[in-house]
């Protein structure tokens, strides 16, 4: 399919307004007062142009939990959030631990056509942490898996983690660890701290995340492998990653939008909308995470979009599922937490939500700067749209479990283009 677009007056990375001409799936020209008689014109005055966002961490739930989300609904949500590529985590049913399942997920993404879906392969069979999955088969499959993760679970066995880190060197792959020492977090419900103590909820100590991160950084250094840390949530984790990077070790890290904005005191009324793994933490942790994202200790933002059906969240806290949706609110939360606070400019956002995640995921075709010849993956964002309360009922995701429901957030994604085809126009999907 070959759409041709002339985007007029967009502020590229928030800079001076330019015209952008998209043709045959690439950015054909960038300049002033461009002329393209065959193209559909999009008036982008007042909008910021960003490279299409890349999510390193999403749960699309298909196969197996289509009651919560499907590849189609999840990728639709992603496009509405400004994304052009997402990594689909492996904790589906069946688990994505074979070439067959990852190829299925990849194909579903192709058919839906909203974003490029990059399946993540499980590190261990069934996510059980006992035996390596066929990482090579998944890498060689049509899904071309490069990121491997048991997310949902920690690869807790030190020896297995070492082997996994070593093994994927031959595949140009990276192990993405969900850092959670299981013995320290049995039955844990909320960040171990003042709020959990008062509420009578079993604590999830920061040390349980930090201990695994420290161990895995040392292992990655020892075997000279790439390590990625999922959803970093504590100030202590930030310090360890900063130290590991200072040694030149190949450690990368992500942070979720919700960990940049929300804290554990929101659990006061036991509303499971705020229940997530790793849990919301303290104001001190939020401040450290923001600073780390700014200075590059944390490389990127990843949503950990975790849709759940209503009945999984409308219960007492202990029985509720962990997780929050995030694709459709990510850019708005990052604007509120990082841009409007002066910590990042839009170029910085583009680096952390597009370029770095694409590099870590080894995703070709995405994360390129907006320049002539680059693939036409971009999003147009209205940062000046005033704050409006988030209404999950309007979301494309099948699930409504957003912690931002009712919360005023700035900004609005206006349009998203995947290889020159508009997936979102005027804030709505094109099909």
Partner 1 sequence: MNRHLISAGDLSRDDAILILDTAEELARVEGRAIRKLPTLRGLTVVNLFYEDSTRTRTSFEAAAKRLSADVINFSAKGSSVAKGESLKDTALTLEAMGADAVVIRHPASGAPRRLTDWVSGRVVNAGDGTHEHPTQALLDAFTIRQRLARGTDRHGQGLDGIRVTIVGDVLHSRVARSNVLLLATLGAQVTLVAPPTLMPHAVETWPCRASFDLDAELGKSDVMMMLRVQQERMTAAYFPTVREYRRRYGLDASRMALLPEHAIVMHPGPMNRGVEIAAEVADSDRSTIVAQVANGVTVRMAVLYLMLGGATEEAV
Instruction: Decide if 360 contacts 302 (C-beta within 8 A).
Output: no
* Calpha distance 216→174 (Å, rounded): 12
Based on CB atoms, which residue is closest to partner 1, 46 or 309? Answer: 309
Based on CB atoms, which residue is closest to partner 1, 205 or 296? Answer: 205
Please report whether residue 311 would count as binding partner 1 according to CB under 8 A.
Answer: yes
Please report whether residue 194 would count as binding partner 1 according to CB under 8 A.
Answer: yes
Based on CB atoms, which residue is closest to partner 1, 140 or 194? Answer: 194
**Interior/surface letters 35-64, b for 16+ CB within 10 angstroms, e for the rest:** ebeebeebebeebbbbbbbbbbbbbbbbbe
Nearest approach in angstroms of CB 92 to partner 1 is: 20
Q: How far is CA 140 from CA 90, 147, 170, 365, in A?
A: 17, 13, 12, 19
Please report whether residue 193 would count as binding partner 1 according to CB under 8 A.
Answer: yes
Based on CB atoms, which residue is closest to partner 1, 38 or 316? Answer: 316
Nearest approach in angstroms of CB 268 to partner 1 is: 9
Question: Contacting partner 1 (CB under 8 A), which of 32, 131, 197, 371?
Answer: 197
Based on CB atoms, which residue is closest to partner 1, 181 or 271? Answer: 271
SS3 256: coil
Based on CB atoms, which residue is closest to partner 1, 170 or 202? Answer: 202
Which among 53, 8, 3, 45 has a CA at the least distance from the CA of 30? 8
**304 assigned to active site:** yes
Q: How far is CA 38 from CA 23, 340, 379, 426, in A?
A: 10, 38, 21, 21
Nearest approach in angstroms of CB 181 to partner 1 is: 15
Nearest approach in angstroms of CB 139 to partner 1 is: 36
For partner 1, what does the binding mask look like between residues 316 and 355, x meaning CB under 8 A? xxxx------------------------------------
Please report whether residue 235 would count as binding partner 1 according to CB under 8 A.
Answer: no
Based on CB atoms, which residue is closest to partner 1, 199 or 429? Answer: 199
* Calpha distance 115→81 (Å, rounded): 11
* Residue with token string 């890498």: 139
Instruction: Decide if 75 contacts 423 (C-beta within 8 A).
Output: no
- Residue 282: other Cβ atoms inside 10 A: 18
Please report whether residue 198 would count as binding partner 1 according to CB under 8 A.
Answer: yes
Residues that bind partner 1 (rule: CB under 8 A) add up to a total of 23
Nearest approach in angstroms of CB 306 to partner 1 is: 18
Which among 158, 162, 154 has a CA at the least distance from the CA of 180? 154
Catalytic residue among 116, 150, 264, 304: 304
Please report whether residue 284 would count as binding partner 1 according to CB under 8 A.
Answer: no
* Residue with token string 């770095």: 356
Two tokens, residue 379 = 């999003």
Please report whether residue 38 would count as binding partner 1 according to CB under 8 A.
Answer: no
Which among 324, 323, 317 has a CA at the least distance from the CA of 200? 317
How long, in residues, is the chain?
Answer: 431
Please report whether residue 278 would count as binding partner 1 according to CB under 8 A.
Answer: no
Please report whether residue 199 would count as binding partner 1 according to CB under 8 A.
Answer: yes
Nearest approach in angstroms of CB 193 to partner 1 is: 6
Two tokens, residue 152 = 């949902």
Question: Contacting partner 1 (CB under 8 A), which of 1, 16, 33, 269?
Answer: 269
Please report whether residue 209 would count as binding partner 1 according to CB under 8 A.
Answer: no
User: Which residues are near partner 1 by CB under 8 A?
Assistant: 189, 192-194, 196-203, 269-271, 311-312, 314-319
Q: Which residues are catalytic?
A: 304
């Amino acid at each position: 399919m070959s759409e041709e677009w002339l985007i007029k007056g967009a502020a590229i990375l928030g800079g001076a307004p330019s015209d952008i001409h998209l043709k045959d799936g690439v950015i054909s020209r960038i300049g002033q007062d461009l002329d393209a008689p065959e193209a559909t014109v999009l008036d982008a005055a007042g909008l910021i142009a960003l490279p299409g966002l890349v999510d390193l961490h999403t749960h699309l739930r298909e196969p197996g939990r289509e009651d919560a989300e499907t590849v189609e609904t999840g990728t639709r949500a992603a496009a509405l959030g400004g994304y052009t590529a997402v990594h689909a985590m492996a904790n589906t049913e069946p688990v994505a631990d074979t070439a067959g399942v990852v190829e299925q997920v990849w194909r579903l993404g192709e058919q839906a056509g909203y974003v490029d879906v990059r399946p993540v392969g499980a590190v261990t069979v069934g996510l059980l942490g006992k035996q390596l999955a066929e990482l090579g088969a998944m890498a060689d499959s049509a899904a071309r898996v490069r990121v491997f993760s048991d997310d949902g679970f920690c690869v807790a066995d030190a020896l297995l983690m070492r082997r996994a880190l070593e093994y994927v060197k031959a595949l140009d792959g990276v192990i993405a660890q969900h850092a959670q020492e299981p013995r320290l977090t049995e039955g844990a419900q909320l960040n171990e701290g003042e709020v959990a103590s008062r509420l009578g909820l079993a604590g999830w100590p920061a040390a349980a995340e930090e201990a695994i991160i420290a161990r895995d950084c040392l292992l990655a250094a020892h075997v000279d492998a790439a390590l990625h840390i999922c959803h970093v949530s504590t100030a202590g984790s930030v310090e360890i990653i900063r130290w590991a990077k200072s040694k030149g070790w190949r450690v990368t890290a992500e942070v979720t939008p919700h960990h940049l904005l929300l804290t554990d005191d929101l659990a006061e009324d036991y509303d499971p909308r705020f229940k997530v793994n790793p849990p919301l933490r303290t104001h001190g942790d939020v401040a450290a995470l923001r600073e780390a994202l700014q200075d590059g200790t944390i490389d990127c933002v990843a949503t950990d979009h975790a849709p759940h059906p209503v009945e999984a969240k409308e219960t007492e806290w202990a029985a509720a599922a962990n997780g929050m949706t995030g694709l459709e609110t990510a850019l708005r939360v990052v604007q509120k937490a990082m841009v409007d606070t002066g910590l990042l400019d839009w170029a910085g956002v583009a680096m952390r939500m597009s370029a770095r995640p694409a590099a870590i995921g080894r995703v070709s075709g995405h994360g390129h700067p907006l320049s002539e010849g680059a693939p036409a993956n971009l999003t147009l964002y209205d940062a000046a749209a005033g704050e409006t309360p988030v209404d999950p009922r309007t979301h494309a995701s099948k699930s409504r479990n957003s912690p931002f429901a009712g919360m005023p957030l700035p900004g609005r994604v206006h349009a998203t283009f995947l290889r020159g085809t508009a997936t979102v126009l005027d804030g709505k999907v094109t099909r």
